[in-house]
């Protein structure tokens, strides 16, 4: 099934994403060293200012920071060390939670983010595309106008603000659902039914805020794609041949879906960004919440570590989408130049 051309395409994409990853980590490396005002030395002097409180721990953290950033060594040694560490998954030591490793802190929060982000993104994508296609198919009816108008407004609502509105309406006013966390306070995570229900109740509001506001954009895009497709030659030709509307719509839907898959790959980053902030609004114990804590305490090794992981996962997801695209698009599957 996997043709030579398809493998070549995937290899090219992989190479591109790998180079991009190295460029991105280089930027992560360069930023603290080129931004004026040198935030690291700032952080060091901050640390020594509070050193009276707990001199031993602070000095240890200071040493760790020096070592983490390889300050004092020539820049190219620092750079090679940084890249090789990043590729091996060694992300250094956190300052706030000294002496815990950054990776050990990120690993437990990642599943919460994935559990929220992946289903929400997929559901929004599927619902949005279906709605948009239906609207285009019924162009200029009240269905179309309703979908378009709603989508234009809804697509511009930041996830986190919709989250605030949901918290206020369903949590504070109607008291239907919990307003923060991933499970009730004091509950110990376990594999029981009651814990599952508890998690689910906490999950509904952040999930819905992402789904609802992400859906609009997909609907707008899909509507446009389907309108374009409906005006294309093969549709007119099929109509003159007397092919049923249902079948034509199926073809059109499939063809319009391809650009939407590319669109999904391209907007992964902004979806992730929005979801991270939504986590903060909900005090949801995911990566966004951890990042927020790291940002407020200027825990630079942790900030860098989170970014190296997040950027890598965006590229990985990109590659997955490329793979799906290659499987779905016959032009790549049979090796025709797209």
Partner 1 sequence: MFKVMFKPLLKNRKFLIGFSVFLFFLVLGLFGPIFYRVDPTEMTWNHEKPPSREHPLGTDTYGRDILAQLIHGIRSSLYIGFLSAIISLTIGTFVGTFSAVKRGVVDETLMAITNIVLTTPSILVAILIASYMRVRNVEMVALILGLFQWPWFARAIRAQLMSVMSREYVYLSVMAGYSDLRLIFEDLIPTIATYAFMSFVLFINGGIMGEASLSLIGLGPTQGISLGIMLQWAVLMEAVRRGLWWWFVPPGVSIVAITASLLVISTAMDEVFNPRLREE
Residues in touch with partner 1 (CB under 8 A): 16-17, 19-20, 23-24, 27-28, 31-32, 35, 37, 39, 42, 139-140, 148, 152-153, 155-158, 160-161, 164-165, 167-168, 171-173, 179-180, 220, 224, 227-228, 231, 266, 268-270, 272-274, 277, 280-281, 291-292, 295-296, 298, 303, 307, 310-311, 314-315, 318
Note whether 324 and 29 are within 8 A (CB): no
User: What are the beta bridge partners of residue 93?
Assistant: 101
Q: 62-93 burial by CB neighbour count: b if 16+ within 10 A, else e?
A: bebbeebbbeeeeeeebbeebbebbeeeebbb
Q: Which is nearer to partner 1, 2 or 324 (CB)?
A: 324
Q: Which is nearer to partner 1, 178 or 329 (CB)?
A: 178
Query: Would you state the structure tokens that stand for residue 257, as one six-digit string?
Result: 């879906």
Query: Would you state the structure tokens that stand for residue 13, as one six-digit string?
Result: 């994409």
Note whether 203 and 195 are within 8 A (CB): no
Q: How far is the CB of 29 from partner 1 (least distance, A)?
A: 11
Q: How far is the CB of 80 from partner 1 (least distance, A)?
A: 21
Rounded Cα gap, residues 21 and 295, in angstroms: 23
Q: Which is nearer to partner 1, 60 or 83 (CB)?
A: 83
Q: How far is the CB of 56 from partner 1 (least distance, A)?
A: 28
Burial grade of 11 (CB within 10 A; 0-12, 13-18, 19 or more): exposed
Q: How far is the CB of 22 from partner 1 (least distance, A)?
A: 10
Rounded Cα gap, residues 14 and 293, in angstroms: 33
Q: Which is nearer to partner 1, 47 or 298 (CB)?
A: 298
Q: Which is nearer to partner 1, 39 or 285 (CB)?
A: 39
Q: Which is nearer to partner 1, 60 or 85 (CB)?
A: 85
Query: Would you state the structure tokens that stand for residue 317, as one six-digit string?
Result: 């997801």
Q: How far is the CB of 86 from partner 1 (least distance, A)?
A: 14
Q: How far is the CB of 268 from partner 1 (least distance, A)?
A: 7
Rounded Cα gap, residues 138 and 130, in angstroms: 12
């Amino acid at each position: 099934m996997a043709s030579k051309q398809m493998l070549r395409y995937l290899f090219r994409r992989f190479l591109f994403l790998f180079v991009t990853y190295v460029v991105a980590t280089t930027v992560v490396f360069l930023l603290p060293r080129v931004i004026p005002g040198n935030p690291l030395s700032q952080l060091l002097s901050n640390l020594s200012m509070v050193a009276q409180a707990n001199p031993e721990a602070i000095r240890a953290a200071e040493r760790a920071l020096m070592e983490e950033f390889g300050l004092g060594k020539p820049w190219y040694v620092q750079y090679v060390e940084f890249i090789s560490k990043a590729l091996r998954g060694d992300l250094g030591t956190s300052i706030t939670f000294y002496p815990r490793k950054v990776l050990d802190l990120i690993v437990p929060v990642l599943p919460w983010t994935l559990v929220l982000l992946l289903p929400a993104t997929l559901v929004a994508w599927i619902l949005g595309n279906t709605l948009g296609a239906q609207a285009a198919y019924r162009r200029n009816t009240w269905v179309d106008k309703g979908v378009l108008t709603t989508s234009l407004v809804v697509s511009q609502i930041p996830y986190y603000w919709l989250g605030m509105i949901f918290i206020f309406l369903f949590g504070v006013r109607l008291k239907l659902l919990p307003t923060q966390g991933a499970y009730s306070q004091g509950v110990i995570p376990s594999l029981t039914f009651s814990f599952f229900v508890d998690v689910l109740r906490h999950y509904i509001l952040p999930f819905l805020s992402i789904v609802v506001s992400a859906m609009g954009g997909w609907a707008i895009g899909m509507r446009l794609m389907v309108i374009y497709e409906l005006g294309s030659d093969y549709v007119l030709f099929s109509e003159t041949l007397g092919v049923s509307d249902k079948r034509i719509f199926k073809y059109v839907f499939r063809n319009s879906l391809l650009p939407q898959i590319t669109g999904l790959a391209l907007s992964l980053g902004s979806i992730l960004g929005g979801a991270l902030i939504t986590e903060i609004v909900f005090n949801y114990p995911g990566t966004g919440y951890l990042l927020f804590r790291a940002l407020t305490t200027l825990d630079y090794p942790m900030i860098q570590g989170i970014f190296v992981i997040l950027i890598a996962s965006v590229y990985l997801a990109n590659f997955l989408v490329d793979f799906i695209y290659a499987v779905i698009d016959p032009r790549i599957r049979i090796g025709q130049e797209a």
